[in-house]
Amino acid sequence: MTGAFLVRTHGGADAMEWTEHDPGQPGPGEVRIRHTAIGLNFIDTYQRSGLYPMKLPFVPGNEGAGRVVAIGEGVEGIAIGDRLAYQGVAGAYAEERLLPVSRAVPIPDDIDDETAASVLLKGLTAYYLLHLTWPLRAGETILFHAAAGGTGLIACQWAAAIGATVIGTVGSDEKVALARNNGCAHVINYRSEDFVARVRELTGGRGVDVVYDSVGKDTFERSLECLRPRGLMVSFGNSTGPVAVPDLGILARKGSLFLTRPTGASYFQTRADTLAAADALWAIIRSGKVRVHIGQRFALSEAPAAHRALEGRGTVGSSLLLP
């Protein structure tokens, strides 16, 4: 018998209860993996709290890496002991789990398990934001909120590698240098500076081509004021609360703006899509143009404390839970 955190009722961090948990034997098209590292992401807190309702009870967590310990019927090309990573499928806060092979990503020999577990969900998010949602081009200017977060550090470096000018916002003075050293040409502490005025100053009044916003309620409406006419607002998270747009006319008044709310589930509907994005991620990491920053490591048993740190804006870069 192995252990896992279980959410029986939606709620705060303490809604996660450590319990004995037998994931069972893998069925057709599945493998059983023993985790070596588990990624921590804001979506974990959304699902735990009920902002994104889940069928109860469930094991939280959407990103991890581990070794195959059992293989189900019909699985080809995977052997016991192989290293696999995954993203976007709940069940990670466990010592062992069942994983559909359709969601499994082989970990290359030159990528370690901690890097894979800390970067796959956030790195694939950065990939679809920069390459699919808006195919970013050299010479364009973007505003990226939460630039010192796990996704932000990856995306800002990647955008700079493409040749874009990156303006990042952070929530504390301590995070300014980190963002500046990871792709941001300009960094704004949005708690002490008027980020709209600063963006307008930095762009000579024009505004940015794209805003990428995972913060949500606290930044959404003011971010619209940072865009050039016909610019794109990408809302991809809700760390300060969900966003509502009751009056679409605001997009017209702010300059015929575009607005999208993308999710990885829409962009990675097939394993081929996922593997292609993962290959691009491994390649940009190998190039040295994107460096992976693991800011915190918690024991798996400390998952509630890790959630409190994440929700309290007390983390930088990626965070791991280690079984």
pLDDT one-digit tens code per residue, 77-126: 999 999 999 999 999 999 999 999 999 999 999 999 999 999 999 999 99
* pLDDT at residue 314, rounded to an integer: 86
Name which of 150, 66, 132 is nearest 264 in CA terms. Answer: 132
3 state DSSP class of 287: coil
The whole-angstrom separation of Cα 111 and Cα 83 is: 10
Angle ∠(12,151,114) on CA atoms, nearest 5:
85
Q: Mean pLDDT across the chain, nearest whole number?
A: 95
What average pLDDT does range 190-201 have in this prediction? 95
pLDDT per position as a tens digit, 132-145? 999 999 999 999 99
How far out from the chain centre does Cα 241 lie? 16
Contact of 36 with 10, CB cutoff 8 Å: no
What average pLDDT does range 140-159 have in this prediction? 96
pLDDT per position as a tens digit, 42-57? 999 999 999 999 999 9
* pLDDT at residue 310, rounded to an integer: 93
Q: Can you give the length of the chain in residues?
A: 323
Residue 23: which pLDDT band, with cuts at 50, 70 and 90? very high
Q: What are residue 189's DSSP bridge partners? A: 170
Domain limits, the chain: 2-120+268-322, 138-261
* pLDDT at residue 313, rounded to an integer: 83
Residue 283: which pLDDT band, with cuts at 50, 70 and 90? very high
For residue 317, pLDDT beyond 90: no
* pLDDT at residue 246, rounded to an integer: 74
Residue 307: which pLDDT band, with cuts at 50, 70 and 90? very high
- The topology under which CATH files domain 2-120+268-322 is Quinone Oxidoreductase; Chain A, domain 1 (3.90.180)
- The topology under which CATH files domain 138-261 is Rossmann fold (3.40.50)
77-84 long-range contacts (CB < 8 A, ≥24 apart) are 78/31, 78/104, 82/106, 83/36, 83/107, 83/113, 83/116, 84/31, 84/33
Q: For residue 61, what are the CA distances in angstroms to 42, 87, 143?
A: 10, 9, 28
Residue 216: which pLDDT band, with cuts at 50, 70 and 90? confident
* pLDDT at residue 242, rounded to an integer: 79
Ranking 156-160, 274-278, 310-314 by mean pLDDT, the lowest is: 310-314
Half-sphere exposure of residue 196: CA atoms within 13 angstroms, side-chain side: 10
For residue 240, pLDDT beyond 80: no
* pLDDT at residue 311, rounded to an integer: 93
* pLDDT at residue 267, rounded to an integer: 96
* pLDDT at residue 168, rounded to an integer: 98
How far out from the chain centre does Cα 175 lie? 18
What average pLDDT does range 170-181 have in this prediction? 93
The whole-angstrom separation of Cα 59 and Cα 14 is: 14
